Amino acid sequence: MNPFDITDRVAVVTGGYGVIGSVLGRGLAAAGVRVAVLGRRSDAANAEAEAIRASGADALALVADATDMDQLRAAREEVLSAWGRVDILINAAGGNVSRARSDTISVFEIPPDAFDEVLRLNLHGTVLPTMAFAEQMAKQGRGPSGRISPMAAVRALSGVMGYSVAKAGIDNFTRWLATDMARRHGDAVRINAIAPGFFITTQNRNVLVAGDGGHTDRARKILSQTPMGRFGRPEELVGAVHWLCSDAASFVTGAVIPIDGGFSVFSGV
């Protein structure tokens, strides 16, 4: 038996047509996983599912807002009627909300509703899908079991207070739910996170890439604090996620795995 074999498992990927969600979904599909691409836009979710099917894997599109429990439960029923089970949830929906940033204003001027929006997208947008799909994993019990990997950020980054608060909440939620699930269900439902460093994607391109295609000041600061001296490539997240979703990680729960070229361990000196 190959402990890394995840063939035929069923994964739901929220933000499944975003840059990181798409790479993770396609990475799992290449390993034989059936992938449900969950997102708010039907055209984009269908296009991503079609691209996965074109590679020879099984995929379906689920239209739901990651912050709407009724829509998430309906999406769960769709997966169950198609494939009968859910083994893996990847929470990749999220991102910054420009109105909630304080790069050019004081933190005291952030509109309260912008703070609500960034918190809702990143924190509720991870907790609610987890509630909807982990409930099914807990019901399934032993056998191919559930793994959930929310993204998390643990260090203070200037300008993005709400985003940081939300990601810190996800970090705590990972540890909290991992403990609860392990006490109730042993190794059947494991909860882990990856903490990506900096990857140039849709959500941050405008703050990292200057008009002339070069790096912004912020990008240069990030690179100077990243011992490997470069941004990550989304494909570099796939290996850790595959491992977390496989039986090779059967005793791993509550872990937050940094994938960041050394950013989180560098003192800056």
Ligand X SMILES: NC(=O)c1ccc[n+]([C@@H]2O[C@H](COP(=O)([O-])OP(=O)(O)OC[C@H]3O[C@@H](n4cnc5c(N)ncnc54)[C@H](OP(=O)(O)O)[C@@H]3O)[C@@H](O)[C@H]2O)c1
**Closer residue to ligand X in complex, CB, 95/261:** 95
Give the shortest CB-7-to-ligand X separation in angstroms: 26
Residue 140 or 264 with smaller CB distance to ligand X: 264
Instruction: Verify binding: residue 198, ligand X, rule CB under 6 A.
Output: yes
Number of residues lying near ligand X (CB under 6 A)? 28
List 49, 88, 92, 219, residue binding ligand X (CB under 6 A):
92
Shortest Å, Cβ 205 to ligand X = 9
Could you give the string, one character per residue 119-158, with x where binding to ligand X holds by CB under 6 A and - elsewhere? --x---x-------------------------x-x-----
The distance of closest approach from Cβ of residue 39 to ligand X in the complex, given in angstroms and rounded to an integer, is 5
66 makes contact with ligand X (CB under 6 A): yes
Nearer to ligand X, 134 or 263 (CB): 263
Which is the catalytic residue, given 115, 133, 163, 231? 163
Is residue 199 within the footprint of ligand X (CB under 6 A)? yes
- Between 145 and 174, name the residue whose CB sits nearer to ligand X: 174
Q: Per rule CB under 6 A, is residue 206 in the interface with ligand X? A: no
Counting contacts by CB under 6 A, is residue 263 touching ligand X? no
Minimum distance, C-beta of residue 21 to ligand X, in the bound complex (Å): 6
> Residues for the chain: how many in total?
269
Give strand pairing partners of 148: 89, 191
Annotate each residue in 3-22 with x if it binds ligand X (CB under 6 A) or - if it does not, as one string: -----------xx-xxxxx-
Distances (CA, A) of 140 to 57, 97, 146, 242: 24, 36, 9, 21
Q: How far is CA 211 from CA 87, 99, 206, in A?
A: 43, 21, 9
State yes or no: is 17 an active-site residue: no
Residues that bind ligand X (CB under 6 A): 14-15, 17-21, 39-41, 65-67, 92-95, 121, 125, 151, 153, 196, 198-199, 201-204
